[in-house]
Structure 1
């Protein structure tokens, strides 16, 4: 594969990761403080929500790390191996964990009677995007598994 295409992919993933990291570090605490000041009746929910959002960062960055490892395999033409399937499996588990964490967060907001339309819409958008990523990775994993089997059969023939 062309090196410039891989470099653009690395740049895009790096840029998205940096933006998410900056949002987690700077934007989330600031917006939590703002909501605590404007709606003091929900002040007791500040830290559980911040910790919940930070908890969603963990599977995201694990998935990003595995995307970089997968890109490295693509770069050295070793994509049709079981290592790449392993990385795809970890990425799919991370997207499922994102779905579970956000779903539990929505349940928490419902129990606390704090469901705001914007928060619910954003959470559902993240859940939907994670589900699309999960389905896409699972399809890719099945296709790659078939390709690895065919490659292994061809390697065994003389």
Structure 2
């Protein structure tokens, strides 16, 4: 993989983080306010919704950082190393964390979806959970494959 390809992927990694940052800054407070306005007797919903969404942003940015590190390892010709396996393992755990956080928040989104026509919060949360699990499975498969390649590489080095 050439440096141009990894440079493009590094830029894409950074660009992916910008809309989520904008979402966290501008839309999460509005969604929290909507939850509080929808159920005035449960004002704590605003805090719960904001905590849930901000908590999911933390592993998201950790996964982006791990992806950036993985691309850096590729630039340094260390793609088939334990460092790459660890980066994939961390991406897998971050994706599982995002799914778990949104799964725990689904009752909140269900409450908000009851007051919206069409109920957009439930599909939104479900899509995030599904996408995160797909990323986790993909990272796990790549991790296992990379471990096997590293094992085969070390076996070949021992026989020569």
For normalisation by structure 1, the TM-score amounts to: 0.89
Taking only aligned residues, the RMSD between alpha carbons, in angstroms, comes to: 1.8
Matched residue, 1:133:
135
Structure 2 residues without counterparts, runs of 5 or longer: none
Moved over 6 A (4+): none
Matched residue, 2:94:
94
Change over 3 Å in CA distance of 1:101–1:31 after alignment to 2: closer
Matched residue, 2:144:
142
Distance 2:18 2:157 in 1: 41
Displacement after TM superposition at 1:29 (Å): 1.3
Displacement after TM superposition at 1:152 (Å): 1.0
Query: Residues 54-99 of structure 1: CA distance to partner in whole angstroms, max 9, x if unpaired?
Result: 0001111111111111110011110111111111111101111111
Q: Paired residues, what number?
A: 155
Displacement after TM superposition at 1:115 (Å): 4.0
Displacement after TM superposition at 1:7 (Å): 1.1
**In terms of mean alpha carbon deviation, does 142-151 or 28-37 score higher?**
28-37
Matched residue, 2:77:
77
Distance 2:131 2:74 in 1: 24
Matched residue, 1:120:
122
Work out whether residues 106 and 122 of structure 2, in 8 Å CA contact, stay in contact via their aligned partners in 1: yes
Structure 1 residues without counterparts, runs of 5 or longer: none
